[in-house]
A and B are shown apart, each in its own frame.
Chain A
Amino acid sequence: MRIFATNSAAHIAGIKPAMRLSDARAICHQLQVRQHQAKADTDEMSRIACWLERYTPSVQIHGPDTILLDITGSAHLFGGENPMLTNLRHRLVQIGYTTRLGLADTIGAAFALVRYGEKDITIIAPDKLHQGLAFLPVRALRLSPEQADSLYGLGLKTIGNLFDIPRASLARRFSGVRDGASVLKRLDQALGLCHEPLQPQRHPPSLRFSLNPAEPCLHHDGIKAVFDILLDRLLAKLEREMQGLRKLSFRCFYTDGGEKCLSASFAKPCRVKKHIEILFNDQLIDIDPRFGLDGFVLSADLTDKVQAFQNGLLEEGHHQTGKLSELIDRLVNRLGKDAIFQVEGYQSHLPERAQNRVPVLQQAVNKPKPPHHPRRPITIFTHPETIEVIAEIPEGPPMRFHWRRVLRQVTRARGPERIAPEWWSGGSGTARTRDYYEVEDIGGQRYWLFRAGLYDEPVPASPPHWHIHGLFL
C-alpha cells in the first residue's frame, strides 16, 4: 500500500505521496490512514467543476486534482482578475478545501504556477510570460518523470534555462525522437507558441422534473394534470437534446410518507406524448390517493438518441415502424419483457442450441448466419420427449413408436443424420452422439426422432434411447 495524498500535518512530518505505508508509519507512529476512494474523488471533482461554472462556462477537469477554467471575458464580472481569484479561493476555503490558483495566458503556464508557484495565488501578466516561468523547475512543464530527470541531468534545472538553447540541439539530447518533440511541444504550449484548446465538460442534462402542488392531490384528475405538466416539460427538454425515452418513471409521494412508483420502458427511443400517456393511463388510475399526494417526480431513467423525423404529406402520422414499436411497448408493459421475443439462428449443430431468443426491435448486429439446413423441423421441443421404439435393426430407423400413448406406424423414413455433442461447450460427460431420423407415419404427420447413444460405443453408459425432438410440416 502506498500513500496517495497527505494533509499539511503529515506533509510537515515528512510524509510524501507514493511513499510506502510501512515507511510512512516508521516515520510517524501516530499516522492516521484512510482508504483512497477514486470513484468518490472523481464524483467530487465533477461536482466542484459544476459549481465552478458560476465563474465561467468553460470548465475542464484535468487529471485527478486540477480543474481548468477559461475566464476570458468573464473576469470583469467579478471586478477584475485579482478580485475574482480571491473570491474563488475564499469560497473554496469556506467549503473546506485547500486550494492553489494560478492564472496565465496558457494552460501550461497556469498549470506550472499552480504546482510550483511560490504563493497560493499567482498571476502572470500577459507580457511577462517568459519572466514568470523562468524560475520554475523544468518538471513544471507537465513532462514525464524520465524526461524531467534527463533535463535535470543535463544541468537544465529551470524553465528559463531552456529558453536560450537552440531547439534542434535540445531535441537531440533525447534518445527517442518522440521524447524530444514532446518536450519542445510542452515548452511551446506553456509559452503560447503552440495552440492548446480547453475542452469544456458537457454535463448531461437533468431529465428529472418535480412538482409539489399547494394542496395534496386527492383525485385522479389532479394526478393526471400533474403528470401532463411534468411530461410536457420533459418532452420539451428531450426535444432540444435530440433524445428519446427508453425508460420513464413517475414517483408519487404520499402526505403520510409513502411512495408509489410507476414506470414504463420503450422498445425504441420515444418522444410521442400520446403513446406515453397510453402506457401510463392504466397505471395512473390504479393509484390510490389515500390522504393525498403532495410530491411528484417524473424522471427519464434512460434515454437514447432519436432523430427528428418528418411527417408524411398525407395525414398518416408516424409511419409503420413507429406504430409497431408502440404496439410492442404496450405488450411488453402489460405482459412482461420475457413474453415477447424473436428467434434468431445461432451457429451450433445441436438443435436445441441453434436458436436464441432476442428482444424485439433490437438493431440486428451483423452476426454470422447459421448454416442453411434444408431438412429441419418447423417446431422443436425444448426438452426432447422420450418415446418407445420398435426398430427392425438396432442401427436403423424405427418401424413404429409410441409417443403420447399413441402407437404410430412409420411409413417413410430418412436418415440417419449424425450430430455429435459439442465437446468445446463445456459439455458434461453425459452428452451423447445422436442419430436423427425424419419419419412419417400412416396419417402423414412427420416427426424428427433421434437415438441418443450408439450401440458400438467403446464404453457404453446405458443402452441408447429414443426421443422426439420436433415436428415437420
Chain B
Amino acid sequence: MNENRQQKIIDLQQRLATAGVVFGVRNSLKQPSASSEIHHDFPPDFPVDLVQMAVLNEISTTTYGDISSYGFALMILRQIAMAQDEKFLWCMAGRQPLESGQLFALGLSAIGIDPAKIIQLEVRRTIDVLWAMEEAARSGALKAVVGIIDNLTFTQSRRLSLAAARGQTPVFMLRPYNNDGASTAFSRWRLSSRPGQVNIYNPRTPSGIQGPGRAAFEVELYQCRDGRRGKWVCHYENQKHQTAHRLSVVATTGNRTPVSHFPQRAKKRNR
C-alpha cells in the first residue's frame, strides 16, 4: 500500500512536470540566467525570476499617456538581452506611435540600450501585431518580444502564452491604462509614475522650480499565477562609473524633501 502511494505521488509529480512544460514554467525556471547581475539592478525582494520566464506578462499603466510601462519593459529587456547579438522585437500598431511617440535612438543609448538590439515593427492593425508576436515568440530566435496592444481577446492571449512556452521566449504586452478583461497572462503588472527626486545641483528656474533628478515610479504585481504579489516604489539609479541616467531600478529610500540649505547655497552662488 505504501509503495502504491509512493508510485502515485511520483506519477502525479511527473504529470505536473509535463503540465509545467506546457505553461512554460518549469522549463524556463531551469534556464541559466545572469541572475546575480539582475539582482544588482532590482530591489532586493523583487521577483526577478518572474520576468525572465518564458511566459506572457502584462504590463499596464494607471493613467493615460504614462510611459512608465515602456521604461519598465525596457529595463527588463536590457537585463534579458545583455550580449551583443541578442535582439528583441518591439511592436506597435495603429495610432500607438502617434499616441506615445516612437522609440528614440539617442534616448535608448542614453539609458544603456543599444538601438541596434531592437527590431521594431510598425503596422496598421493590432491583429498583425499579434500575429507577428506569436510568430516571433514561437520561432525562439529572439530574447524577448514586446507588443503594445490596445485590446485582445482571451483566445488571442492564450495563443501568445502557448507561443511563449513553445519558443522559450518571454512575451510582454504593454496595455493601455483602461486595460481590463480576461487574459491568460502569467503575471500582471501595473505601473504608475511618481514624482521624481530633484537634482539639487541644477540651478533653480526664476520661479523657484528645481531640476528633475531621478525619475520614480511605482510598480505593482497585482496578479500572478504562482501567487506572488507585491508593490515597490522604485527609481532609476545613476550608477557610479556608468553613463549618467542609466537604467536600473532600486527601491527608494523614502520620499524625502530636499535638504533646505543646499538650494539656498546654490542660489547665493548664482548671484
Contact = CB atoms under 8 A, between A and B. Distances in A.
A149 to B, nearest CB: 61
B206 A473 contact: no
Contacts of A446: 193, 196, 212, 215
Interface in A439-470: 439-440, 442-446, 470
Contact of B104 (A378, A393, A413): A378
Contact of A445 (B65, B105, B210, B243): B65
A411 B209 contact: yes
Contacts of A413: 205, 209-212
A223 B216 CA distance: 60
Interface stretch (B5-13, B19-27, B134-142, B221-229): B134-142
A381 interface: yes
B148 to A, nearest CB: 11
Nearest to B101: A379
Contacts of A339: 121-123, 128
A379 B120 CA distance: 13
Interface in A384-409: 392-393, 396-397, 399, 404, 406
Given A342-B118, A397-B205, A379 B110 contact: no
A173 interface: no
Contact of A327 (B102, B118, B135, B236): B135
A327 B141 contact: yes
A321 B85 contact: yes
Interface in B91-132: 97-98, 100-111, 115-116, 118-123, 128, 131-132
Contacts of B102: 343, 379-382
B266 interface: no
B158 interface: no
A188 to B, nearest CB: 55
A341 B71 contact: no
A321 B100 CA distance: 31
B101 A381 contact: yes
A472 B216 CA distance: 12
A360 interface: yes
B230 interface: no
Contacts of B100: 379, 471
Given A374-B244, A443-B63, A470-B107, A324 B215 contact: no
A376 interface: yes
Interface string B37-57: 000000000000000000000
Contacts of A377: 101, 104, 107
Nearest to B245: A374
Contact of B68 (A335, A343, A470, A473): A473
Given A412-B211, A439-B212, A440-B196, A375 B110 contact: yes
B74 interface: yes
A397 B209 contact: yes
B199 A414 contact: yes
Interface string B54-72: 0000000001011110110
A345 B132 contact: no
Nearest to A361: B119
Contact of B120 (A320, A341, A351, A410): A341
Contact of A324 (B115, B141, B195, B245): B141
B116 A344 contact: yes
Contacts of A378: 67, 70-71, 74, 103-104, 107-108, 111
A330 B134 CA distance: 12
A451 to B, nearest CB: 14
B198 interface: yes
A201 B99 CA distance: 58
Given A327-B135, A379-B102, A342 B116 contact: yes
Contacts of B98: 381-382
Nearest to A324: B141
Nearest to A471: B67
B120 A343 contact: yes
Contacts of A328: 119
Contacts of A372: 109-110, 243
Nearest to A473: B71
Nearest to B125: A335
A471 B194 contact: no
A440 B139 contact: no
Interface in A299-322: 320-321
A225 interface: no
A340 B70 contact: no
Contacts of A399: 207, 209
14 contacts: A326-B139, A354-B106, A364-B116, A372-B109, A372-B243, A377-B107, A379-B102, A382-B102, A399-B209, A412-B198, A414-B211, A440-B196, A445-B67, A446-B193
Given A340-B120, A381-B102, A444-B192, 9 more contacts: A327-B136, A327-B141, A343-B103, A354-B104, A372-B109, A377-B101, A379-B103, A413-B211, A440-B196
Interface of A: 320-321, 323-324, 326-328, 330-331, 334-336, 339-345, 351, 354-355, 360, 364, 370, 372-382, 392-393, 396-397, 399, 404, 406, 410-414, 438-440, 442-446, 470-473
